[in-house]
Structure 1
Amino acid sequence: MFVNFRRIRKCQCVQLAATCFVVSLLMVCWDQLDHHVVSHMRSYSYRYLVNSYGFINSSFALREGEASAEHRYLLNHPERCAGSEVLLLLFVKSSPENRERRQAIRDTWGNESYVGATQGESVRVLFVLGVSPDPEPRERRVQRDLELEDQSYGDLIQQDFLDTFHNLTTKLLLQFRWGHAYCRHARFLMTADDDIFVHMPNLVRYLRGLVRSGAAKDLWVGHVHVGAPPIRRKDSKYHVPHELYPWPSYPDYTAGAGYVVSGDAAAKIYQATLRLNSSMYIDDVFMGICANAVGVAPREHVYFSGEGKAPYHPCIYDRMITSHGHADDVRSLWRAATGPGARRASAGVFGKLYCAAVRVALLCKPYYQNTYPCKAAFS
């Protein structure tokens, strides 16, 4: 029996090279691997403690004598909800420069007259803004344009804080405080980004069904992030340092692109905003902290979108409520989603079978897409 030492050495060299390649790959990709796999596993295991105990709420509690900041209104319309029943008070988070997005929303899903005429319900749509962070001459010009826009439509609510990513929580506080001050009789409150599409007929039918069934108590519904970890990478827009939030998991919360709370839940969350420090600048996370403090838990709805766009297809439009990432195609999507073709696609037994197959094909693809989950195809 002879041993081929040359072959053994060759195999060892191949193994060593393969090991070095794998180690090098792990070192290069460790930040991504840690963020997408390790940190999620760690945070999910910590999730029960975060959701079940009050240590996070205690750490964000305002000290005695300390008060949460109040900002002055630059544009306001306290009469918008006066003297009428309101099914839905809908706040659209917008930036001062995004006039075209606001106009597209007014012309489509945010048209209050359309909802009243076709659905027989009262909906109030308001755009919430801060002040342009641009240099002063441009800021003055943007502000003049906003004032002219508001004279035409009367639907802008603006306070004197800089309209930046790190002030999104300030914008959240504006919504809940305005709702409490001027429209607390609204059955539901919704917050949405200005690049979102809302299928208003489907949303109104859903909310009416909740009222009829008595399921609207302590409601907070949207696309739920379960056991999400803080992002520690300093190059990320969503970076949160340990000093601000030292725990490995956030409370469960809904994606800030679009979610709905019932009137009673909105009142509780408003009270929480008065007691908690708003230093957490990621608004949907701060919403989760406030809701957790008053015992309101988020509910998943499969047709509230996450950060991704919903697939374009009549069989999806039949069920969709929100879809995110529509800065330029709101008008065309509105025509397609509310036109007669969207209903015809799922009409009859064969239509239902066809749409069921289409939804499986579109929503259950083997790659990750943060919009509607696969289970939406079967709901």
Structure 2
Amino acid sequence: MLVNFCRFRKCQIRQLMMTCFVLSAVMIYWESFGNNLSNHVKSYSLRHLLSPFDFISANLTISRGEARKFSDYNYLINHERKCTNRDVLLLLFVKSSPENFERRQAIRSTWGNETYIERTLGVTVRVVFALGLHPQPSQRKKLQQELLREDEKYNDLIQQNFLDTFHNLTIKLLLQLGWTHAYCPHARFLMSADDDIFIHLPNLIRYLREVDRSGVKDFWVGKVHRGAPPIRKKDSKYYVSEDMYPWSVYPDYTPGAGYVVSKDVASRVYQASLTLNASLYIDDVFMGICANAMGISPQEHAFFSGEGRAPYHLCIYNQMMTSHGHVKDFHELWRQATDPEVQRVSSGLLGRLYCTVAKVRLLCVPHFLNTYPCKAAFL
């Protein structure tokens, strides 16, 4: 009897210790989690109370002369005739930095190969890289010479003379909008993407062809951030002061890693940018502000990745649009994602059932929370 009592007491003690450990861990993270949660709840509530954010665009409206200072930069490298073909399905702007030559090369030889796209997919896509000046004067002259040689060979760099830094990303967005308006307004779709994103062009082209046939308007698709609050922590890369943005919530927007808009949206967002204060350096949020000013809302697509990298799996490749955070694996991922085996594995009743189970295992766990949502497993 005494032995059983001792065992019972030991079991209780172990349970108590485990409970204390769990509670301690929760308490350690609760404050930051609670703050983030309350910020999101508060901002999401404000989103519905104050939608459609007319007060934000009204307060950020400035004269055209004042707004011009944000885009009044000269072209150092330009290709005015890049879009002379009138039948351009997609103009794809890749945001790059002057020193990222290897990333640009990887894109040119995989998903961004215009010749492959036209020959294999039967459509015209124009891929160009948006750049500024290297911020370090000591490296700028050498890098600029290398960029000129690179462009002489590939004819796909669009560069203006602003400093290419994180805090000038909104200026780089204005470059894309302005160049599209001036030199490629007839492209039926415009895509903006980072140079560390993988785009499954065959899947994307099939999707855009279907959308184009429907004659869609107000089309803006990607992974959507809804009711997101500004980050007020000064040590964060994405810190935004209350002086810069005094409100508690951003309009809905798509992460700058990769999104697509129809040509009418590109045109209207460009027009909005001509009278809005572009000092907010979070470019995807500024895009959301411009679009909201024109009454345009983003649409969620389950297979556009946000900040995370998509799982490596044949059943994912079958529907993948974008995956973020790739630098060294472009070639291998391109080979795997475009392998005919992808279609074979995922076709038929058994194939679809197998892929549903595989996607549930991959997507319905916290590890891949920042890529595709769990609901994508059932699409």
How far apart are residue 137 of structure 1 and its match?
3.0
Alignment partner of 1:226 is 2:196? no
1:140 aligns with 2:155: no
Identify if the C-alpha distance between structure 1 residues 149 and 24 changes in structure 2 by more than 3 Å, giving closer, same or farther: closer
Query: Secondary structure, in 3 states, of the residue corresponding to 1:128?
Result: strand
**Could you tell me which amino acid in structure 1 is paired with residue 296 of structure 2?**
V
> What is the TM-score with the length of structure 1 in the denominator?
0.91
How has the CA–CA distance of structure 1 residues 81 and 364 changed in structure 2, closer, same or farther, with 3 Å as cutoff? Answer: same
Whether contact under 8 Å (1:304, 1:320) holds in the other structure is: yes
8 Å CA contact 2:362–2:368 kept in 1: the answer is: no
Count of aligned pairs: 359
> Which structure 2 residue ranges, 5 or more long, are not aligned?
1-18
The alpha carbon displacement at 1:64 in A equals 7.1
Distance 1:311 1:23 in 2: 32
* Match 2:132 to one of 127, 130, 136: 130
Q: Give the corresponding residue for 1:36.
A: 36
Partner of 2:287: 287
Q: Which residue of 2 aligns with 1:11?
A: none
Aligned to 1:276: 276
- Corresponding residue of 1:300: 300
Partner of 1:5: none
Residue of 77, 80, 94 corresponding to 2:79: 77
Counterparts of 1:212 and 1:99 in 2: how far apart (Å)? 36
Task: Give 1:369 deviation, angstroms.
Answer: 1.8
SS at match of 1:88: strand
2:114 aligned partner: 112
The question of whether the paired residues in 2 share the 8 Å contact of 1:306 and 1:370 is answered with yes
Query: 1:154 matched to which residue of 2?
Result: 155
Cα RMSD over matched residues?
2.0
* Residue correspondence of structure 1 range 155-170 to structure 2 within 5 A: 155-170=156-171
User: Helix, strand or coil for the counterpart of 2:82?
Assistant: helix
Give the whole-Å Cα distance in 2 for the aligned partners of 1:140 and 1:31.
48
In structure 1, the gaps of 5 or more residues are 1-17
Q: Which amino acid aligns with 1:185?
A: H
Contact 1:50 1:251 in 2 (8 A): no
Task: Specify the code of the residue in structure 1 equivalent to 2:309.
Answer: K
Cα distance in structure 2, aligned partners of 1:64 and 1:128: 24
Give the CA deviation at 1:97.
0.4
Matches within 5 A, 1:1-379: 29=29, 32-63=32-63, 65-69=65-69, 70-134=72-136, 136-214=137-215, 216-367=216-367, 369-379=369-379
**1:290 is aligned with what amino acid?**
C
Between the aligned partners of 1:360 and 1:295, the Cα distance in structure 2 is 36
Q: Which amino acid is the alignment partner of residue 362 of structure 2?
A: L
Offset at 1:277?
0.8
**In structure 2, what is the Cα distance between the partners aligned to 1:198 and 1:106?**
12
- Paired residue secondary structure (1:252): coil
Return the TM-score normalized by structure 2. Answer: 0.91
Listed one character per residue, the Cα deviations across residues 165-220 of structure 1 (whole Å, up to 9, x for unaligned) are 00000000000000000000000000000000000000000000001223x21100
Q: Which moved more, 1:157-166 or 1:52-61?
A: 52-61
* Contact persistence 2:61–2:277 (CA under 8 A): yes
How far apart in 2 are the matches of 1:111 and 1:53?
A: 40
CA distance in 2, matches of 1:25, 1:171: 41
Secondary structure, counterpart of 2:66 in structure 1: coil
Deviates more, 1:65-74 or 1:83-92: 65-74
Alpha carbons of structure 1 residues 34 and 118: separation in structure 2 relative to 1, 3 Å: same
